[in-house]
Homo-oligomer: A and B are copies of this chain.
């Protein structure tokens, strides 16, 4: 924490950087595929000091993609999309993002060069060349797996849906992202039902409005346990709240631990 001139710690509000994710693809909504990219991105953004505030999953539908891109980019610092940038007719993300920004879209020279370098001579057909269609004004996101790039336009980062490629693209862009104050967290777990501690937890939350507290019940081997996740940008406040939570669990006969497995 910064010190003010008189030596007192300054009560600077935390720097908060936000993001949303837009998952594009019929296969997630039909139940064919279980999305893996949002879970991955959520974890990486937390490490980068960026708060994932919302996620949406939409089908390969132009109107829905355009509306979601425009809604989310107006409300969050970053928007990450996954899916719909391959060579087939159902890959419409680049066109939709261009439409959302009101710009043109066409074969971009550098994207084409990367595809030409990747494919054997004669294999870069018309369909594959579609993967070089990039909205005007966008910059490329590297794809070390299969060459066809993602792109960034404004605060929207467009990436592939195949998890190995999505993850490689996130690694490519991570150094360009500006994070805010990291949300630190502690997780206190005990074999106490959440209904037993709920009232004291509510009072603790009121005493620490600057520490976000979530309660997650679980049942393992027929025994109820509760995980309390505490999050704050202020380590001293976080630690004080976590220690108080240990005390609450103990009062209800629990032996709190701080890891994810009880």
User: Which positions in A face B, CB cutoff 8 Å?
Assistant: 25-35, 38-46, 51-60, 64, 86-91, 123, 125-128, 130-131, 162, 164, 183, 185, 187, 194-196, 198-199, 201-202, 205, 212-219, 229, 231
Given contact pairs A29-B53, A89-B213, A125 touches B195 in the complex (Cβ within 8 A)? yes
| Chain B residue nearest to A203 in the complex (CB) | B89
Given contact pairs A31-B42, A43-B31, A56 touches B53 in the complex (Cβ within 8 A)? no
Determine the distance from Cα of A30 to Cα of B61 in the docked complex, in whole angstroms. Answer: 28
Tell me, rounded to whole Å, the shortest Cβ–Cβ distance linking A181 to chain B.
Answer: 15
Given contact pairs A54-B58, A54-B64, A27 touches B229 in the complex (Cβ within 8 A)? yes
> What chain B residues lie within 8 Å of A39 (beta carbons)?
31, 34-35
> What chain B residues lie within 8 Å of A214 (beta carbons)?
25-27, 60, 90
> What chain B residues lie within 8 Å of A51 (beta carbons)?
29
> What chain B residues lie within 8 Å of A52 (beta carbons)?
29-31
> What chain B residues lie within 8 Å of A58 (beta carbons)?
54
| Chain B residue nearest to A56 in the complex (CB) | B56
A–B complex contacts, Cβ < 8 Å, 16 sampled = A26-B229, A27-B214, A29-B55, A30-B229, A31-B41, A32-B187, A35-B39, A56-B57, A86-B217, A87-B195, A88-B198, A88-B201, A88-B202, A89-B198, A89-B201, A91-B215
Most buried by B among A27, A64, A185: A27
Tell me, rounded to whole Å, the shortest Cβ–Cβ distance linking A92 to chain B.
Answer: 12
> What chain B residues lie within 8 Å of A91 (beta carbons)?
215
